[in-house]
Amino acid sequence: MKVLVPVKRVVDYNVKVRVKSDQTGVDIANVKMSMNPFDEIAVEEAIRLKEKGLATEVIAISCGPVACQETLRTAMAIGADRSILVQTDVELQPLAVAKILKSIAEKETPDLIILGKQAIDDDANQTGQMLAALLGWPQATFASKVEVADGFATVTREVDGGLEIIKIKLPAIITTDLRLNEPRYVTLPNIMKAKKKQLDNVTPESLGVDPAPRLSILKVTEPPARSAGIIVPDVAALVDKLKNEAKVV
């Protein structure tokens, strides 16, 4: 069973981004970049399937500028066997990424594609579902447990108010939620090994995909700030404020 894992290079989880003064976007120059945390969970899950003897090959894919190679090397240090960079400097939106991934999926014919449920930069939460639709495959989003057997995946999903279990026929799309697993730390020997693994370069055009964005971003602005509040000295003062000033209790 071959598994594809798309990974996105995003501004690191711990960075608080600043909006550019000309309102064209956020300033990501000289900011620490990392693999999207949900994608890291996706890579980990694929590697665990391989370690259980269920997956035979894990292929990481990243779409974007040449720097995404770093993200692919990280995926290979976690354990991916090889990787593909779909290189472009065009601003990619989820539909374009889904079309690129569809084209790769048709060439690689995987049984499973595992993606993060959302990227922490654009917070779109779309690519996996779109890819499933384009391929005509079933999907199990927001997965917290995955079991693969006999050509099916049984997936526990995080839904509002609890959990849901569905059984989907492979080939299929799974998107990861927080509790699916805890990604391993990459070790130095594995980072060294990853440098020797195969990394292929393609472009959206060579895959026959027009990556042009469909949504135009008119401006990016700061959210309205909350005005600073006060520190109350004790519980009695807090209860008094809630009753008499805020009038919420």
Residue 111 per-residue DSSP state:
S
Stretch that binds other proteins, among 41-49, 64-72, 74-82, 212-220 (CB under 8 A): 212-220
CA end-to-end span of the chain, whole Å? 58
Q: Letter for the amino acid at 51?
A: E
| Smaller CB separation from other proteins, 26 or 66 | 26
Measure the CA–CA gap between 96 and 209, rounded to whole angstroms: 7
| Smaller CB separation from other proteins, 125 or 190 | 125
* Beta-bridge partner residues of 115: 175
Measure the CA–CA gap between 144 and 178, rounded to whole angstroms: 7
Stretch that binds other proteins, among 40-48, 68-76, 159-167, 193-201 (CB under 8 A): 159-167
Stretch that binds other proteins, among 65-73, 77-85, 163-171, 191-199 (CB under 8 A): 163-171
Alpha-carbon dihedral angle through residues 157, 113, 46, 162, given to the nearest 10 degrees: 0
Region 19-78 residues binding other proteins, contact defined as CB under 8 A: 19, 26, 38
Find the binder of other proteins among 67, 165, 192, 212 (CB under 8 A): 165
Find the binder of other proteins among 30, 208, 229, 244 (CB under 8 A): 229
Region 75-104 residues binding other proteins, contact defined as CB under 8 A: 93-95, 98
Find the binder of other proteins among 64, 71, 177, 204 (CB under 8 A): 177
* Closest separation in Å from C-beta 88 to other proteins: 17
| Smaller CB separation from other proteins, 120 or 199 | 120
Q: Letter for the amino acid at 145?
A: K
Q: Which of 71, 83, 66 is nearest to 9 (CA)?
A: 71
Does residue 198 contact residue 83 with C-beta atoms inside 8 Å? yes
DSSP assignment of 43-70, as one string?
HHHHHHHHHTTS-SEEEEEEEESTTHHH
| Smaller CB separation from other proteins, 120 or 186 | 120
| Beta-carbon-side half-sphere exposure of residue 215 (alpha carbons within 13 Å) | 10
Site pattern 109..148 for other proteins (x: CB under 8 A): --------xx-xxxxxxxxxxxxxxx--xxxxxx-x----
Stretch that binds other proteins, among 45-53, 58-66, 73-81, 153-161 (CB under 8 A): 153-161
Find the binder of other proteins among 185, 196, 223, 244 (CB under 8 A): 223
Does 192 engage in binding with other proteins (CB under 8 A)?
Answer: no
Q: Which of 37, 45, 47, 43 is nearest to 60 (CA)?
A: 43
